[in-house]
Structure 1
Amino acid sequence: MMYMLEKETMCDVTFRVGEGRKTIKAHKNILASRSEVFHTMFEGSLPEKNEINIPDIDEDTFKKILWLPKIYAYTDVVKISEKNVTSMLYAAEKYMLTTVKKKCSELLRSTATSVDAVVTLSTANQFHLHDLQKKSLHFIEENTERCLSSK
């Protein structure tokens, strides 16, 4: 399956992603099997045809979830870092990718009790992650000076 994706063999859906509208091809059946949102997009009452525009997710994030090099939709492996956690969480919520959301939350849990707790609190507020909000806020209250003097 990875070979077919990499060589774009039998791909039946094309996405135009990000502001640059970069072309990314995939297989509807794989995406629909991993996400109710994709299933509805392809098989719902008004199914998408031809190219699908995804302007609100950058190309790198979309590729990390769907296409390059360790592919979540095809292999259940996804790389999440502090740099991309917010964009990955946004994409995970948009496409109801529970494993990706869980992995993002795990990474954020580790930063909730560090000097980056303010950033974690902001992200937790944005995505309504109540446990992380509480954990971050508690750490900030206990370590206010350290948190305020961090980047």
Structure 2
Amino acid sequence: MKVILLKDVRNVGKKDEVKEVSDGYARNYLIKRHLAVAYTEGAKKVLNAQLKEREKEEAQKKAEAEETAEKLKNMPLEFSLNAGKDGQVFGSVSSKQIAEALHEKGIAVDKRKIKMEQAISSLGTTKVKVDLYRNQVIGEIIVRVRQKD
């Protein structure tokens, strides 16, 4: 029996795939637990409509991410840290602080999407990469760290 998967099913397939499974498995497990629906012409049309809608949404999200990347290029972030006479910095700037500073400027970015090996713990300018859309759109933030007065 052919079915359209509504959710990812281990050892069967991913969501929205059309799979051939045994009749009993389809009726007694997949359909009963709302993991799949029987493959019919009506279900095929609904699936195609959903895929087209999802494609449009993905294109919209990607366009928004590209727009955000352009905004980030022209928006340097400034942080002040305590430093000793010899330039030794006390503290650091973490991805959480960068995400909060961006949020204050009206840009929502998850701190886990900010690509830093370690926190910034030196004075000066640093470029930090941000994954804005599934590793397809990468933005760049200029982070300036200066000595606190």
User: TM-score, normalised on structure 2?
Assistant: 0.26
Higher relative contact order (CA 8 A, sep 6+): 2
Q: Which has the larger radius of gyration?
A: 2
Q: Which has the higher helix share?
A: 1
Q: Which has the higher strand share?
A: 2
User: TM-score, normalised on structure 1?
Assistant: 0.25
